[in-house]
Amino acid sequence: MSGSAADVRGFTLVEVLVAVLLLVVGLLGLSATLSVVAWRMSVAELETRVRTGAEAEIEALLAAGYDRLAPGISRREGLAVDWQVDGDDPRRVTLVARGTLGRHERADTLETLVRRR
């Protein structure tokens, strides 16, 4: 066993501090990225709910038939849906669905023509 300081193996305090600093910076970057990803997933879910709600509502209007088409408003599953009916034959149905996430709003507009059978 040698007693000289040159034979001692290990990390210096400075090397340990630098390693810890790099680890902390990496973890902070990862946490910032995860919050952005979570927010974007929430917005994508809202956009999907708005689109599927609009499609479901316009399908219900079309299923009701030409003679029962009239302007209206619907509130369901956290969505506000309103539609206008213009014209005689064909009738133009314009439907707007809106949903909110916090202070952000997403809207989707669908339009279709309906002919008398």
| 5 within some domain | no
| Whole-number pLDDT of residue 70 | 92
| 4 within some domain | no
Please report which confidence band the pLDDT of residue 103 belongs to, taking 50, 70 and 90 as the band edges.
confident
What's the pTM value of the predicted model, to 2 decimals? 0.71
Cβ neighbours, 10 Å, residue 37: 10
pLDDT, the chain, mean: 90
pLDDT tens, residue by residue, 28-71? 999 989 989 999 999 999 999 999 999 999 999 999 888 999 99
| 20 within some domain | yes
Query: What is the DSSP secondary structure assignment for residue 117, as one 8-state letter?
Result: -
| Whole-number pLDDT of residue 116 | 86
Locate all alpha helices (DSSP H) within 1-117, ordered by sequence: 13-64
Q: What is the residue range of 103's domain?
A: 11-114
| 91 within some domain | yes
Q: Residue 2 above 60 pLDDT?
A: no
Q: Residue 89 above 80 pLDDT?
A: yes
CB proximity list for 104: less than 8 A, separation 6 or greater: 43, 46
| 80 within some domain | yes
Question: How many separate domains does the chain show?
Answer: 1
| 3 within some domain | no
| Whole-number pLDDT of residue 72 | 94
| Whole-number pLDDT of residue 86 | 93
Percent of the chain at pLDDT > 90 equals 70
Q: Angle CA(14)–CA(19)–CA(20) in degrees, nearest 5?
A: 100
| 1 within some domain | no
| 69 within some domain | yes
